[in-house]
Structure 1
Amino acid sequence: MLPLCCLVAGCSAASGSAPTPPTALAAPSPPSVTGANEGPLHPAAATLPVPPSGDEEDPTPQINTWTDDWIEFYCKHRLGYQLELASRRYGDSAILEKGQRLIKNIRPLFDGAVIEPACFMVMPKQPGFEKRRDLYLLYHYLNHYNLFGSGYRSSAMSIIEDYLYVLAA
């Protein structure tokens, strides 16, 4: 599996050489390499976002309050927060209600798993990962819904409804 940096155009790690430090990168040309069914890759590092100075409000901040239970953390501070935000921003009570039903019934999806907080690249896939894969994607769809609007809503709602069906909730 390629390191995460290889998902960025211009990465040299795929060839076995050391990645180029971001400070040494020149402005990239438009990406031209795509996968068979994928769109163009994001440019390597033409302009990196400037960290907020503290005056701006982060539109979807990461809530990292400690919990003793990773499932509770993910449900409350990742999924729950994004669901509440969608409800406040868009008046989307349907996604909030269905998402909260999913959260209340989510534990069986983690039966037998050693929790994988770095689930995508770092740790081996744990038992049942395939049945949870879309649950991890759900957070990203909800976040994109809150950042960029309704184009991501149907993907998030579809995942929620699929899990509600599977869990008979």
Structure 2
Amino acid sequence: MKNIVLIGMPGSGKSTIGLMVSQKLCMKFIDMDEHIEKKEHKTIKELFAISEECFRDAETRCAEELSKMDSCIISAGGGIIKRKENIDFLKQSSTIVFINRCVEDIVADIDMSTRPLLKDGIKKVYDLYDERIYLYKEYCDIEVSNSGDISEVVQDIIKRVVK
């Protein structure tokens, strides 16, 4: 089976939803940020401290590696769409699912201290959303709304991806 890659804003629910989908489908779950940290022997925060480009390079290497796998649920970092080559790698073996969650709900739930790009506050979340929303929509194969019961989102993904 093809991979299912979840894309979306930080705080959109990718990791939580991805884990639930993986359990329902008995597929391996991979959080790209955790995968990057293991491969690079540095935290995301440490990679960003070097430079955002350093992190994005690691993210691209990870996308290329994961494109060679199958039958995995992959939670991508929020900025995976910043480099088209990342999406090109992932599309080789994956269905890309955009988890669309309204920015107000993200702001209400997210712990910004743990997100390097969001450390500048709430305005940064809105700016990132405006900057990225069209890319998420352009690159996804399927868009699902995370605006209610998370178990319904999980079922929607399964219904639309597993045919």
TM-score (norm 1): 0.27
Higher strand share: 2
Higher relative contact order (CA 8 A, sep 6+): 2
Structure number with bigger Rg: 1
TM-score of the superposed pair, with normalisation by structure 2: 0.27
